[in-house]
Amino acid sequence: MRPALPALLLGATCIALSPIFVRVSDVGPTASAFWRVALAAPLLWPLLALSPKGAARPDWRLLLAAGFAFAGDLGFWHWSIQFTSVANSTLLANLASLFVTLAAWIFWRQRPSPLFLAGLAAALAGVALLVHTSLSFAASALLGDALGVVTAVFYAGYILAVKELRDRGAGTLYVMAVTTTLTAVLLFPVALASGESLLPQSALGWAKLIGLAWISHCAGQGLIAYSLAHLPAAFSSVSLLFQPVMAALFAWILLAEPLVPLQIAGGLIVLAGIYLARRGSA
């Protein structure tokens, strides 16, 4: 368990750097979402080829669903980062765990516990404070917050699809390689149609995109996948709340993005709500 906990925290830290890479990127939000997966795929496939082969047969409907959901997750999140604060966009994207349980309630009649409902109420109260803070910054920040919530919905869909694939015996690296490739295929025409700048103009611009793909996507997701196989699920899900905290800290240090008291209070309430909800749905 000892090496798994540092791996979990390091993985969350790597993912927390992703909004920083997106914000300083030379290309547009949709283009950076495309490069995030397009540059990660050539690293994942050789790793998959060297890994032990699993016996599970691929379910392409689930893989396509996961790829579509992940494309929506990245596309909306990268746009959210452009309009609102890194802290808000990351916190709101982490509402995905609440949407997962709500989906189980609506579609599979899995009645949530009172603890989950209390966590949901707390998280929504925290979101209200975050939105109130955004309105004091700029009108466009409210759009960014809304896109953050949409991100959470898509991310919840991705989590549900990946969980079903893992339950059917698909390997983590296999799921990552295939869904990453499918996501790149789906995002490429969207990036072209968006009219955004698609290619970085310098070596530093490419370095930022490679950092987004290799550090945030491959290393971050890989370390978390490793840790989840060695840690209790409830403990792991709570520890991943480390990610939005680190994202806000990086934005404060590297981007000089301010954190006002009301925003900090809202963020803490959201984190507490997610914590309670995850405990209540474990």
Which residue reads 């939105």 in tokens? 131
pLDDT at 184: 97
pLDDT under 70: residue ranges of the chain? 1-2, 54-57, 108, 135, 137, 228-229, 231-240, 280-282
Cβ-based neighbours of 93, under 8 Å, separated by 6 or more: 73, 77, 80, 148, 151, 152, 155
Summarised one tens digit per residue, pLDDT across range 30-73 is 999 999 999 999 999 998 888 777 656 678 999 999 999 999 99
pLDDT at 25: 93
Q: Do 69 and 155 form a contact (C-beta atoms < 8 A)?
A: yes
pLDDT at 233: 55
Residues above pLDDT 90, as percent of the chain: 37
Domain residue spans of the chain: 4-281
Supply the DSSP string of 76-91, one letter for each residue: HHHHHHHHS-HHHHHH
152/76 Cα distance (integer angstroms): 9
pLDDT at 31: 96
pLDDT at 39: 97
212/18 Cα distance (integer angstroms): 6
Q: Do 147 and 79 form a contact (C-beta atoms < 8 A)?
A: yes
Summarised one tens digit per residue, pLDDT across range 222-253 is 888 777 667 665 555 555 678 888 888 898 89
DSSP type of residue 56: P
250/237 Cα distance (integer angstroms): 21
Q: What is the pTM of this model?
A: 0.86
